[in-house]
Chain A
Amino acid sequence: MANPRTVEVSAIADAVARLCGEANLYLPEDVRQAFIQAQSDEESPVGREVLGRLLENADIAAAEKMAICQDCGLALVFIDLGQDVHLVGGDLTEAVNQGVARGYEDYYLRKSACGVFTRANTGDNTPCMIYLRIVPGDQVHLWVVPKGGGSENMSKVFLLTPAVGRSGVKKAVLDTVIAAGPNPCPPIILAVAVGGTFEDAALRAKRTLLHELDWVNPDPEAAELEKELFEEVNKLGIGPAGLGGSTTCLRVFVDLKASHIASLPVSVNLQCHAARHKEAAL
């Protein structure tokens, strides 16, 4: 049996703080490449102009160390914790929240967390959302995904009847994108999970946002659905910033899983074009 590797939770807090900053200041390279590709594919002149402005925006943000978008989101922190790791030095949840609070302060990021009824800002963008998995190995893998409110508000979970089948799932996804229209800051990343349960589908859809945009889905059934949805969503005409065009989504991710014989859960999570994600391994 391997000896456990010791990791200080303060090191995790430091990494989370840095990832919050870097995720919000620097557009990921995969998203930048997707903008450039979309610029050459886009049919609408206004759409091409919007994509050009988004590239310019990313350059300014990086040069001035200013957030790409003023909605620096709630911080989603995904942790894959190796089962041979022994965490020491305090409470993991507290440490991660301290990292988020420090990152949002030190990098001049907007604090967007507030009480649901008072609407009073908590002041430090906590609580963050922590999604923990135990995995083989002796590493701690961290991802920070700042998730903006505009795109999150347009997301949906459906509990469909199995009779509607594959075409019913596609209709639910397309209806969600049509209803969202210009609101979620297109071109979007479309994250879809089918199967599992109510909460499992929502989390799996969100988790696909950790992939690079050129990730190849190893599940051929999911990959086929991704391809079909990508083509159909980009025929909707919504376009960059919703001003009309042939680029409504940059990528579709699909995650399929078995479901209960009575159920067909579908989660459709929309991510804006400021598809921020940053990872580190400790």
Chain B
Amino acid sequence: MSELIKLTPPLSDQDVVALKAGDKVLVSGTIYTGRDAAHKRMVDALAEGKELPIDLRGAMIYYVGPTPAPPGRVIGAAGPTSSYRMDAYAPTLMAQGLKAMIGKGRRSQEVKDAMALHKAVYLAAIGGAGALMAQCIKQAEVIAYPELGPEAVRRLVVEDMPLFVVNDVQGGDLYEQGREAYSRI
């Protein structure tokens, strides 16, 4: 496991290929939020030949539905949601240039295959650490689908957001490696 790797989107193929499962990453810069409902809207839009509300080339999407911002804060608690619910949509977005997905929990084999094909990476934030993650978010703005409330697409500006590389383009999987290292059965 290496020391901290700093990443700033948009990410290149080179940035992504260098990442290995187990690496610790600090992300700074602009990322986008999206969960189930926003993913469905974006994939439907592509199917209808419409433009997406965000430029996915080199982009990072954070699977999060934050709490409302308390007074004086830019955002509320903002930890990751379970990523598998986005598995049905993720390969389509990777084909559009999406380079990194941030969430928690396992991905499907189809998503892992698409990551290898399109050179994309899957990063985990610590699930349940919503207030901690909010500290890294310096700006937040709803830029699409405001009617979805917590599920709207937001543009976030983050600083040193701490993440773990879970799935890399070579097929490495931190969840499997971690469990194997500590399994006593």
A, B bound: yes
Is residue A10 contacting chain B, with contact meaning CB distance below 8 A? no
Which residues of A pack against B, CB within 8 Å?
43-44, 46-47, 50, 53-54, 56-58, 60-61, 64-72, 108-112, 119, 121, 123, 149-150, 153, 181-183, 185, 232, 235-239, 241-246, 272-274
Is residue B64 contacting chain A, with contact meaning CB distance below 8 A? yes
Q: Which 8 A-B pairs have the closest CB atoms?
A: A244-B178, A237-B183, A237-B182, A183-B105, A61-B131, A235-B184, A185-B127, A57-B132
Chain B residues within 8 Å of A71, by CB: 65, 79, 81, 130
The CA-CA distance from A245 to B82 in the complex, in Å, is 20
Nearest B-chain residue to A245, judged by Cβ: B182
Chain A residues within 8 Å of B129, by CB: 53-54, 56-57, 69
Q: Is the CB of B182 within 8 A of A244?
A: yes
Is residue B134 contacting chain A, with contact meaning CB distance below 8 A? yes
Chain B min CB distance to A157 (Å) = 20
Which B88-134 residues sit within 8 Å CB-CB of chain A?
104-106, 124, 126-132, 134
- Interface pick from B8-16, B42-50, B66-74, B138-146: B66-74
Chain A min CB distance to B87 (Å) = 12
Q: How many residues of chain B get a CB closer than 8 Å to chain A's CBs?
A: 48
Nearest B-chain residue to A25, judged by Cβ: B131
Taken residue by residue from 152 to 184, chain B's Cβ proximity to chain A (1 for < 8 Å, 0 otherwise) reads as 000000000010100000000011011111111
Chain B residues within 8 Å of A66, by CB: 67, 70, 73, 76-77, 130-131, 134
Contact residue among A46, A70, A273 (Cβ-Cβ distance under 8 Å from B67): A70
Q: Is the CB of A242 within 8 A of B82?
A: no
Q: Is the CB of A150 within 8 A of B127?
A: yes
Contact residue among B66, B124, B151 (Cβ-Cβ distance under 8 Å from A243): B124
Q: Is the CB of A181 within 8 A of B175?
A: yes
Q: Is the CB of A183 within 8 A of B106?
A: yes
